[in-house]
Amino acid sequence: MKALFKFSSLSVWVICVSLVACTDHQEPGTERLRIKKLTRSLPYQHGYSVVSILGYDWQGRLDSVYSYQTADSAHSPTQTSNFQYDNQGRLAQMKRTLSTGGSERYVYTYDGAGKISSIRYTGGDHDYYDLVPAYDGAGNLTETTRSFHFYSAISYLQQNQYTFSTGNLSRLIATTTIEKGVPATSVSTTDFVYDDHPNPFYGISLIPAPVGIAAPTSGNFSHYTYCGGVDNFLHLSRNNPTSSNIKGYTQTLYRYQYNALGLPESRATLVKPMLDLPAVLSETLLFEYETY
- Residue 32: the pLDDT is 85
Rounded Cα–Cα distance for residues 274 and 276 (Å): 6
pLDDT higher than 90, residue 124: no
Task: Specify the pTM.
Answer: 0.86
Confidence (pLDDT) at 20: 40
The string of pLDDT tens digits covering residues 11-60 is 333 333 334 433 334 445 546 899 999 999 999 888 889 999 999 999 99
pLDDT score of 83 more than 90: yes
pLDDT tens across 236-247, in order? Answer: 999 999 999 998
According to the model, what pLDDT value does residue 73 have?
64
What's the gap between Cα 261 and its chain centre? 23
Q: Which of 126, 104, 106, 108 minimizes the C-alpha distance to 118?
A: 108
CB 247 within 8 A of CB 209: no
Strand stretches in the chain, DSSP E:
33-41, 50-56, 62-69, 78-85, 91-98, 103-110, 116-122, 128-135, 141-150, 154-165, 168-180, 182-198, 206-208, 225-228, 239-246, 250-258, 264-272, 280-291
Q: How far apart are CA 42 and CA 66, in angstroms?
A: 19
Q: How high is the pLDDT of residue 29?
A: 53
Q: What is the DSSP letter of 131?
A: E
On the question of pLDDT at 263 being above 80, the answer is: yes
Contacts of 175 (CB under 8 A, 6+ apart): 158, 159, 161, 185, 186, 187
What's the confidence (pLDDT) of residue 13? Answer: 35
Would you call 179 exposed, middle or buried from its count of C-beta atoms within 10 A (0-12, 13-18, 19+)? middle
Residue whose C-alpha is closest to residue 229's, from 159, 166, 146, 285: 146
Mean pLDDT for the chain overall: 88
Largest CA distance in the chain: 58
Confidence of residue 113 (pLDDT cuts 50, 70, 90): confident
Average pLDDT of 195-215? 95
Q: CA–CA separation, 204 vs 43, rounded Å?
A: 27
Q: Give pLDDT, residue 47.
A: 80
**CB 60 within 8 Å of CB 66:** no
- Give 3's pLDDT tier (boundaries 50, 70, 90): very low
pLDDT at position 1 over 70: no
How far is 270 from 281, CA to CA, in rounded Å?
A: 4
* Segment 87-104, tens digit of pLDDT: 999 999 999 999 999 999
Q: What is the pLDDT of residues 159-192, one digit of tens each?
A: 999 999 999 999 999 999 999 878 899 999 999 9
Determine the Cα–Cα distance for residues 91 and 83; give it in Å rounded to an integer.
Answer: 7
By the 8 A CB rule, do 230 and 121 touch? yes
Proportion of the chain above pLDDT 90, given as a percent: 73
DSSP state, 277?
S
Q: Give the pLDDT score at 31.
A: 62
**pLDDT tens digits for 127-154?**
999 999 999 988 889 999 999 999 878 9
73 SS3 class: helix
What is the structure's pLDDT at 45? 84
